[in-house]
Structure 1
Amino acid sequence: MRVGTVGEIKNHEYRVGLTPESARELVVNGHEVWVETGAGLGIGASDEDYVAAGAVIQPDARTVFDGAEMIVKVKEPQPVECAMLRRGQILYTYLHLAPDPEQTAALVKSGVTAIAYETVTGPGGSLPLLKPMSQVAGRMSIQAGATALEKAHGGRGVLLGGVPGVLPGRVLVIGGGVVGFNAAQMAVGLGADVTILDRDPEVLERLGTHFESRAKTRFSNRANIQQMICEAELVIGAVLVPGAAAPKLVTRDMLKCMKPGAVLVDVAIDQGGCFETSHATTHQDPTYIVDGVVHYCVANMPGAVARTSTYALNNVTLPHALKIAELGWREAMRRNPHLAAGLNVHDGKLTYQAVAEELGYAFVPVAEVLG
């Protein structure tokens, strides 16, 4: 199979779909790899590195899109990229379709077979292709929040760890999954006063066992969210409903009790955000203020640490890419139902139920598509 990867064009997105090492693995397994010139520069990978791995460098994205049977990316295709996709082609990348009707309509129109990293499953309902970026984003959320808390960035002027004689900053993490756990780890490491909210008693028990007295846990309900955000200097939104839009857990009315200069970091913004006042921002202009509260809602947080993120992502996406290239997407999915869960769009049809319901499309089960 001819597999292609292109430079990402989303604002300040430096990751790339295939590292030179991943390209080599595809090549030694008998596949052809096309790489847009300069695609890997954001992770420090030159065209020469890809050539040494056996890849073919192409002059532009159009050439790669026109010639490749499978496109491997990181972020969802932008409108100009959607226009280059075609029926019968495979797109393998993050999609986050539920809050993005325009992208969904463009993919449906193209006829492409679109496989979303974020809905590929693992044993026990895990999301192994989402996990490494959730780990990165969770850890980055504390870095970003700590910076936004600085007075020069519009924040309250609080040092999360405090100093002797001065109380540390209070951090509220809403959601105890992969993002929330990693955010809490970083905040605890800085010496902050950390509370984690979640609705699952087993998650709360696991978090309590892990953090012991270093972080507090509470059941997530409206009353507890309202109380805790009034006390917090930094709130991390870390909730996830796989494939669907994130629930709006913090309303605008709730912001009235928050301290001026407090910070909200919405890690769920890729799925529409879990704060009512959230809208997507970029690394170029990452924050805005609503009712005196600083909002950080960058939709591709891991793109800022592109080298770490790309290698972590390739570790989990490459095995599926190799199987798709070897067997074709249909046979690969017949053999692996976890990969089949990643199919979101095929030949103008929505094949992921949560997205279809959210956006009002007819839902076609993957089993029906696979025959």
Structure 2
Amino acid sequence: MKIGLPRELGNGESRVSMTHKGVHKLTKLGHEVFVSKDAGAKSGITDEMYKNSGAVILKDEKDVYEQSDLIVKVKPPVSVELNYLKTGQILFCYMLLEKNQRLICTLLEKNIVGIAYEMVRDEQRRKPLLIPMSEVAGKMAVFKGIEFMQSLHGGKGMMLGSITGLAPSEVVILGAGSVAYKAAEIAMGIGCNITIINKNRTRLRTLNEKLLKKGNYLKLSPESVQNAVIKADLLINTIDLMGDKDTHIVTSQMIKEMKNGSVIIDVACDEGGAIETSKMTNHTDPTYIVDGVIHCAIPNLPGVVPRTATFALADATFPYIIKIANEGVHKVILNDAGLREGLCTYKGHLIHKEASRNFHIPYVPFEKTC
């Protein structure tokens, strides 16, 4: 199979979808791999390393798309890349189709097999391709909170954590998954008071045990959220309402009641969703202020630590890539139920319920495409 690794073109995105070691394994099996020039440079993987592993280095991303049957990326294609996608290709990356109507239309129009990292599940029903980046993003959320509280970055000049003789900082985390766990772990480690709020009590109990019963664990309700956020120095949202703009966990009225100079890091980047005042930002222009509260919603927080993020992600994705390359995508989809759950578009049909709901595009179950 011909496999393409294009350079990521998004703002602040320096990750690459596969390491040179993965390329070596594929080329030894007779597959061809095409890599954009400098695709892995900021992840510590040079063009020479890729070339020595058997890859062909191409100067233009467009050429990578033209040469390849399977495109492996990190983030969804940006606007210019939509024109590069070929009819009948396979696209394997983070998709986020519930927020991207233009990408849906392109995938359907070009009959592309779209498989989303974030939807693939393993035998234990976990999301193995989401977990590595969730862990990085959870830690980065606290690091960004520390940064934006500094007066140098427009914050109120407060140090997150605890200092002898002073009350510790208050950190509120919405959600109880992998992002929330790593954020809480870091925040607790520097001495913050932690409050975790989630709808699912079982997830709360699990986190309570993993964090050695430190912190406060609350069932999600308007009252629990209201009472927690008005005390928060740092609010981290990890709950994605999947494009639902009619439901808000933190309302604009709650934002008005938060402390002046407090910080919100919306890891879910659920624009106008879980946090009513949330809108997308980026690494170049990371924050904006609403009612005295600093907001940050960068969709690729791990993108600025590419050496860590690339190797963690590639380790998780490679077994699926080599399986698709060796067996063919149609056979793998039929035989691997976990990978099949990541299927978003197939044979010109949309197989993604939330995207169908959000954009009123017909949903077709996989079984009806066979």
Q: TM (normalized to structure 1)? A: 0.96
In structure 2, list runs of 5 or more residues that go unmatched: none
Counterparts of 1:198-347 in structure 2, within 5 Å, are 198-240=198-240, 248-269=248-269, 274-347=274-347
**What's the CA shift for 1:27?**
1.3
**What's the CA shift for 1:156?**
2.5
- Using the alignment, how far apart are the partners of 1:127 and 1:351 within structure 2? 18
- The residue aligned with 1:152 is 152
- Using the alignment, how far apart are the partners of 1:110 and 1:249 within structure 2? 37
- The residue aligned with 1:366 is 366
- The residue aligned with 2:3 is 3
**What's the CA shift for 1:132?**
0.6
Map Cα deviations across residues 132-177 of structure 1 (whole Å, 9 max, x no partner).
1111101110000111111222223221112111111100001011
- Using the alignment, how far apart are the partners of 2:29 and 2:118 within structure 1? 26
Q: 1:189 to 1:273 in 2, by over 3 A?
A: farther
Q: Supply the AA of the counterpart residue of 1:206.
A: T
- The residue aligned with 1:174 is 174
* Contact 1:98–1:271 under 8 Å retained in 2: no
- The residue aligned with 2:103 is 103
- Using the alignment, how far apart are the partners of 1:113 and 1:142 within structure 2? 36
Q: Are 1:77 and 2:56 counterparts?
A: no
Map Cα deviations across residues 255-289 of structure 1 (whole Å, 9 max, x no partner).
11100000000001167752111111111111110
* Contact 1:43–1:307 under 8 Å retained in 2: yes
**What's the CA shift for 1:356?**
1.4
Q: Supply the AA of the counterpart residue of 2:128.
A: P
- Using the alignment, how far apart are the partners of 1:64 and 1:245 within structure 2? 35
Could you tell which deviates more after superposition, 169-178 or 340-349?
A: 340-349
- Using the alignment, how far apart are the partners of 1:9 and 1:138 within structure 2? 23
Map Cα deviations across residues 109-142 of structure 1 (whole Å, 9 max, x no partner).
2322111101111234311111111111011100
- The residue aligned with 1:47 is 47
SS in 1 for 2:212: helix
Q: Quote the sequence identity (%).
A: 36
Kindly tell me the number of residue pairs found equivalent between the two proteins: 369
In structure 1, list runs of 5 or more residues that go unmatched: none
- The residue aligned with 1:126 is 126
* Contact 1:135–1:179 under 8 Å retained in 2: yes
Q: Which runs of 4+ in 1 moved over 6 A?
A: none
SS in 2 for 1:231: coil
Q: Supply the AA of the counterpart residue of 1:129.
A: L
- The residue aligned with 1:87 is 87
* Contact 2:282–2:299 under 8 Å retained in 1: yes
Q: Supply the AA of the counterpart residue of 2:253.
A: D
Q: Supply the AA of the counterpart residue of 1:71.
A: I
- The residue aligned with 1:20 is 20
Could you tell which deviates more after superposition, 347-356 or 254-263?
A: 347-356
* Contact 2:44–2:307 under 8 Å retained in 1: yes
Q: 1:245 to 1:74 in 2, by over 3 A?
A: farther
Map Cα deviations across residues 279-319 of structure 1 (whole Å, 9 max, x no partner).
11111111110111000111110101111111111111111
Q: TM (normalized to structure 2)? A: 0.96
- Using the alignment, how far apart are the partners of 2:303 and 2:271 within structure 1? 17
Q: Supply the AA of the counterpart residue of 1:200.
A: N
**What's the CA shift for 1:69?**
0.4
- Using the alignment, how far apart are the partners of 2:236 and 2:105 within structure 1? 31
- Using the alignment, how far apart are the partners of 2:98 and 2:192 within structure 1? 34
- The residue aligned with 1:63 is 63
